[in-house]
Structures are given as C-alpha cells and as structure tokens.
Structure 1
Amino acid sequence: IGASLFASNIGSGHFVGLAGTGAAAGIATGGFEWNALVLVVVLGWLFVPIYIKAGVVTMPEYLRKRFGGKRIQCYLSVLSLLLYIFTKIS
C-alpha cells in the first residue's frame, strides 16, 4: 500500500514535466513536490491502518466493502480513469 502511494504520484511524464517547469520557472517548482512528499506520508499514516484493518488495497475496494454493492466501486474506478485521462490531456 505504501509503495502504491508513492508509485501513483510518479511517472515519466512527471519527471519530464517537472524538468521543463523547473527550467521555465525556477527551483521553486520543487517546493510543490516537497510538500506533496510530506502530505503523501501523512495521508499514508492516516489511511494505511484503515485499509489494513478492512483487508483491502485500493479505494474502490474499500468503498465496496464499506457501503456494499459493486456500483460504487465501478463508479469510482471509471471516475478515476476519466480524471486521469483529462489531466494527462491538459
């Protein structure tokens, strides 16, 4: 779960984009990533015990167990995919 938190925040587009933004705007761009690192660790400390106690790995899986039914799991999965696509396009 912890590795998933960090891996979902980093990709090839992430490195290329940060390098370009850093070249254009300066080193202050890195401040966003340092803040993100701290917040990912804090969120990990908050949510990992809940996920382990529930016996789940992903947020859609947790919502399915918490609220019942497959519909909310599918809805969140589709919403996450759409948001990922739109953020990569923009």
Structure 2
Amino acid sequence: MKIEVAYAKPGEQVLLALDVLEGSTAEQAIRQSGILERFPEIDLEQAKIGIYSKPCKLDQPVKSGDRLEIYRPLIADPKEARRNRAAKKGEAG
C-alpha cells in the first residue's frame, strides 16, 4: 500500500512516497523509508510522530494513503514566545 513519510527542518522539507506491506507499523514505515539514514539527527525514541497532524505511536498501523510525519522538538515554548512578543509590542507602543 502507498504512504508518505514527511520530515522538515529549517530550509529543507522532504516528502517520501513508498510502498509498505499491509499491517506495517509507523516505525516499520519510517525505517523502510530510509529517512533515518538521510537525517541521522532523528531519534525515533524521542521524536513525536503523527499521521496527518494527529499524534500517533510508533506501533500504530498505517493505512493506505497515510502521510506519516516526524516532528522536530520545539526550540521555544509557544506560550512564552507569544508573551515575549506581546511585551516587546508594549514597549514599542
């Protein structure tokens, strides 16, 4: 069955199409895609993954047409970043 594996980092986005066996898990699909060799910084034990933006676990079976996404860790807390931007606007205004 056909699925896609997606990964993005600043300046580079990759979307790999591949065929996997029926019943394959997310982890099996990621490993089969070769993306871990292309991006050795991906640590599957730590990385968050999802299917079409919905979080899933490595043992989640994939279905035909799924887009499996590997997420990078956040470098800043979104709430804190928003507070900082708001504070800077307040100082400028």
TM tier relative to shorter chain: under 0.3
After TM superposition, the score normalised by the length of structure 2 is 0.25
Larger radius of gyration: 2
Bigger relative contact order, structure 1 or 2, given CA contacts below 8 A and separation 6+? 2
Larger relative strand fraction: 2
Larger relative helix fraction: 1
